[in-house]
Amino acid sequence: MRRWSVPLPGLLSALLIVSTSLALIGCSKAPSTGRSIADVVLRVGEDVGTEVETYEGQMAPGLDAALNADNPNAKDRVALPQPPSSTLVGSGRVARADGSTTFFLMYEVKSAESTVSAAMHDLVDTTPWQVTGGQSSEGVSAFNFQNTRNPGITGSAVVQPLPTTDRFDVNVMRDGKQKSLSVRRRSFVPILGAEFKEKDGGLVVSRVVPGEAATSGLQLNDRVVSLAGKDVKDNASMQTALRSLSTTGDPRTSVVYIMKVAPDLPLQAAFSAPPPRALPKDFPAPFLVLPGTTPVAVRWSEGSAGSTYEVTLLVRASLGDTLKAYRATLTAQKLAITSDTAQGSATSLEFASADGSLSGTAAIDTFEQDDSFTAISLQLRSQAPGRVPPGGSLVPQGTAPAGTPTATGTPRG
């Protein structure tokens, strides 16, 4: 049986959630244990037993102890370097049941992003820290680093410019009269939320979607004359004017630390079966939820080619008895078993109805976290009789939802 896995988002994409959460810390008191937006956002994707705390303008407690767990009495203590001339905006702490902890720290620096990036690279590449990689896109830099004394301590430093002004002006011609719009600025290089077409030597609004520009009064067929004091005649000059805002005002840059501290040996907790999850009302094969089985993870999607379902069930029964029960159930429901393959301790049953309206796979293996349970991973596709989905695949692909229990066995490609 293949292991369920959850692909992690790229570092810069993950930063959107992290930086949003930390920016919202300013809206709450410290500490917060469940009442702030930042707290709720940091809980996204975490298990129900994960602890989350956020702090406004303060360092999350426990960081020093976590960084020095292997040398609590040593004089040469490990510390996370503070960005030069920075102000601590807020922090967060996420502690998981396996004993690992992730700390989030957000600083603001009154310098340009390029200057701060260069300084941060040097800071996290100085003993006892070592840079292991990085990535960069327009206006954003990120460095991955590790502790040279403790391999269980790793981190990322993400540097991103912040808007330097609150608003900017857009001048337009409307019905022969010039009108000035004051647009709220919420990003380093603003996005107007509109499309433009070049017409008669000018730039005319051809489409407007909800956004700051629309809120400020930008309308269809407005001819843009200038933006932030820069003349606008075409799309190129519009982009030049928007990017010029990055050089106005005093520069401000955010630095976000994401520190992960893991124990040498993860904590092991006794498994307790979670409450059952409800199946979709149109689940096409309720007979595959055998007596005694508990659905613990469910995912589904609907489309023109049909619907797909992924369900993980647990049952306190032997692997052999569970296999016999599923083979018998598939046969009784007149579903042809097209493949019955064993690999390691796992067995995969592929099946399909005669008219092609239902097909799928039941992957059955010993449950990894408690071998007194057997795990059943169902992947189903339901569609109109006789219809073959694009590509000819009858088995849904993809990964299970975050937190799905895993089973043992040799991973399958």
CB atoms within 10 A of CB 284: 18
Helices (H) and strands (E) in the chain, counts: 7, 19
CB atoms within 10 A of CB 197: 12
Non-local (6+) Cβ contacts of 16 within 8 A are none
Q: What is the pLDDT of residue 312?
A: 97
Contact between 206 and 197 (Cβ < 8 Å) = yes
Q: What is the pLDDT of residue 220?
A: 95
Q: What is the pLDDT of residue 305?
A: 85
- 119-138 b/e with 16+ CB inside 10 Å = b? bbbebbeeeebebeebeeee
Low-confidence ranges of the chain (pLDDT < 70): 1-35, 72, 74, 385-413
The amino acid occupying position 6 is V
Q: What is the pLDDT of residue 386?
A: 52
pTM for the whole structure: 0.75
CATH 3.30.310 residue spans of the chain: 286-392
Q: What is the pLDDT of residue 46?
A: 83
> Which of 268, 329, 265, 257 lies closest to 105, judged by CA?
257
CB atoms within 10 A of CB 279: 15
Note the pLDDT tens digit of each residue in 205-218.
999 999 999 999 99
Q: Is 106 exposed, middle or buried (0-12, 13-18, 19+ CB in 10 A)?
A: buried
Note the pLDDT tens digit of each residue in 344-370.
999 999 999 999 999 999 999 999 989
Q: CATH second-level architecture of 286-392?
A: 2-Layer Sandwich (3.30)
